[in-house]
Amino acid sequence: ASCMQHRLVVRDASSLQILQLYTCLDQIQYIEWSSDSLFILCAMYKRGIVQVWSLEQPDWHCKIDEGSAGLVASCWSPDGRHILNTTEFHLRITVWSLCTKSVSYIKYPKACQQGVAFTKDGRYMAVAERRDCKDFISIFVCNNWQLLRHFDTETQDLFGIEWAPNGCVLAAWDTCLEYKVLLYSLDGRLLSSYRAYEWPLGVKSIAWSPSSQFLAIGSFDEKVRILNHVTWKKITELDHPATISNKRTIVYKEVEKSPTVDRERLSFPPTRALASSLFSTQSKYDISQVPVSLQYIKPVADRANPKVGVGMLAFSADNCFLATKNDNIPNAVWIWDIRKLKLSVVLEQLCTIQYFQWDPCQPRLAVCTGSSRVYLWSPAGCIVVQVPGEGDFQIMSLSWHSSGDSMLLLSKDHFCVCYLEREEV
């Protein structure tokens, strides 16, 4: 599904054929599929309206109007039948039920980056709240939206919460002024609290490993600390130095190669194909010899939210690799082998890395840097894929298909689907 202005276009994933076309009342800011892929919600924040469309019955419609409460965020519940709307100024979260047309309210939600978290199996929802300058977490049962547990956290200013994939442990972390990660069990008990240091800026990003065995904490001091689920103590610290000197690490460097042009074939005015091929530079990966020094950017000292520290963390689906990005070295992706807790590969790109995501099935990483190329890495090697087409297609974000066969590449106003062929075994 994709939206354009106030139109919602639904296409088939394998053929990109338009299946449905819906029109909404206002410019759509956010769309989300329901978990059973039967409904799509379109949120229009300005108007404070959420419209839900059904795929099975194109005639069915639903409109939720928040009125003067305003709308800031909207999302589905895991069962696909409830919509959670966050009103303006985070006054409350309204739970609308599509089955019963009933409404529930959750008061005092917290205005933070990740304030609402659902467990993987969709049974429980954790909401971060703040009352009287104190942070609380409420755990609700998604079946009937009953409050299960309500407890306070020892954080200064809760920044985010995330469930472990096994649904039994909830990680909560504090704002970047305080390094504090708290781990709560499902019934609200504090299992452990972790604090690496006191004064410098703290946690920037957090990721659970798919087996819930490890919790990776990326912080502003350019290090990733991994805690284990048995003792909740740090088992290792992964450092991101600007110079890589370990002989075992493979460094792939993206190298531009200028295209060769046949002189005889030049014509004036140059044809389009020729022009594009002239100006679009090819690039490939080269293995650089260790020691390699990466491009290091010193951040501006007097700005808030500096571009320092480990900003992106992602575990591979098979729990074997961890991909990280150090914002100080914005052109490199660091891939760590979790079984050996060592740095195995560094991908050095030409431009700043915008986004990367692991394949949900295999240990395959797709990286995009804002150029018109998508980079794929797997333990077998890495390749550069050029998006064919005219002009620049600056890939800003990408998203894998859940089967791992195809990938969605998004630029500012275009998108394309990249299909990966499976090897016939």
Partner 1 sequence: MGDWKTITVPVLSSDSKNILPHTSERKRSPTSMNSQVLRLSLPSSKNMHSFFSAFCTEDNIEQSISYIDRELTTLGFPSIYAESKGKELNLIAIINCMNELLALQHKNLRAQEEVEMQHLKLGSDMDHLQNCYAKLKEQLELSKREIVGLQERDRQLQSKNRNLHQLLKNEKDEVQKLQNIISSRATQYNHDMKRKEREYNKLKERLHQLVMNKKDKKLAMEVLNYVGRADGKRGSWRTDKTEARNEEEMYKVLLSDYEQRQKQLLLENAELKKVLQQMKKDIISLLPPQKQKPKERSEDGLVLSDQEEDIGELNKENMWELSCETVREQLTNSIRKQWRMLKNHVEKLDNQVSRGHSGAFNEKDVISREDHELETEKLELEIQQCKEMIKTQQQLLQQQLTCDDDTTLLLQDCYLLEERERLQEEWRLFREQKKNFEKERKSFTEAAIRLGLERKAFEEDRGAWLKHQFLTMTADCKSENVTTPSAFLRSNVIDNVCLSGSDPDIRLVKPASRQRKPHLVLSPTVSPEPCQISQCITQNSVASEKPAADNMPNLWVESDDKEETE
What are the residues binding partner 1 (CB under 8 A)? 35-36, 59-69, 79-81, 87, 89-92, 96-103, 123-124, 130, 132-133, 141, 143-144, 146, 148, 156-157, 166-168, 177, 185-187, 199, 230-231
Q: Does residue 90 sit in helix, strand or coil? A: helix
Q: Which residue has tokens 């090697």?
A: 381
Q: Give the residue with the Cβ less far from partner 1, 274 or 341.
A: 341
Q: Tokens for 417?
A: 């689907």
Beta-ladder partners of 141: 124, 146
Output 100 or 267, the one with its CB closest to partner 1: 100
Of 13 and 148, the one with the shorter C-beta distance to partner 1 is 148
DSSP string, 295-338: ---PPPTTSSS-S-SEEEEEE-TTSSEEEEEETTSTTEEEEEET
Phi/psi at 195 (5° precision): -140, 120
Nearer to partner 1, 102 or 245 (CB): 102
Give 173 or 356: the residue with its C-beta nearer to partner 1: 173
Handedness of CA 204, 191, 209, 78 (dihedral sign): negative
Q: Are 299 and 221 in contact (CB under 8 A)?
A: no
Instruction: Tell me how far, at minimum, the Cβ of 381 lies from partner 1, in Å.
Output: 33
CB of 166 to partner 1, least distance (A): 6
Q: b/e map of 268-289 (b: 16 or more CB within 10 Å)?
A: eeeeeeeeeeeebeebebeebe
Q: How distant, in Å, are the alpha carbons of 32, 44, 255, 356, 403 from that of 11?
A: 14, 21, 36, 24, 17
CB of 420 to partner 1, least distance (A): 31
Q: How far apart are CA 130 and CA 89, in angstroms?
A: 13
One-letter amino acid at 166 equals N
Minimum CB distance to partner 1 smaller for 85 or for 280: 85
Spatial CB neighbours of 268, under 8 Å, sequence gap ≥ 6: none
Minimum distance of partner 1 from residue 187's CB (angstroms): 6
- H or E element that contains 272: helix 272-279
DSSP state of 275: H
Cβ 350 to partner 1, closest distance in Å? Answer: 39
How far is Cα 129 from Cα 141, in angstroms, rounded to an integer?
16
Other residues' Cβ atoms within 10 Å of the Cβ of residue 92: 16
Whose Cβ is closer to partner 1: residue 11's or residue 120's? 120
Q: How far is it between the farthest Cα atoms of the chain?
A: 77
Asked whether the CA dihedral 365, 366, 368, 373 is positive or negative, the reply is positive
Q: Which is nearer to partner 1, 163 or 285 (CB)?
A: 163
Shorter beta-carbon distance to partner 1: residue 130 or 373: 130
Q: How far is the CB of 120 from partner 1 (least distance, A)?
A: 12
Q: Counting beta carbons within 10 angstroms of the beta carbon of residue 18, is it exposed (0 to 12), middle (13 to 18) or buried (19 or more)?
A: exposed
Residue 235 Cβ vs partner 1, minimum distance, rounded to whole Å: 11
Q: State the minimum distance, in angstroms, from the CB of residue 197 to partner 1.
A: 14
State the nearest-atom distance from the C-beta of 101 to partner 1, in Å: 6
Q: Which is nearer to partner 1, 100 or 289 (CB)?
A: 100
Q: Least Å distance between CB 384 and partner 1?
A: 41
Q: Which is nearer to partner 1, 91 or 351 (CB)?
A: 91
For the bound state, the minimum distance from the C-beta of residue 98 to partner 1, rounded and expressed in Å, comes to 5
d(CA 294, CA 329) in angstroms, rounded, equals: 7
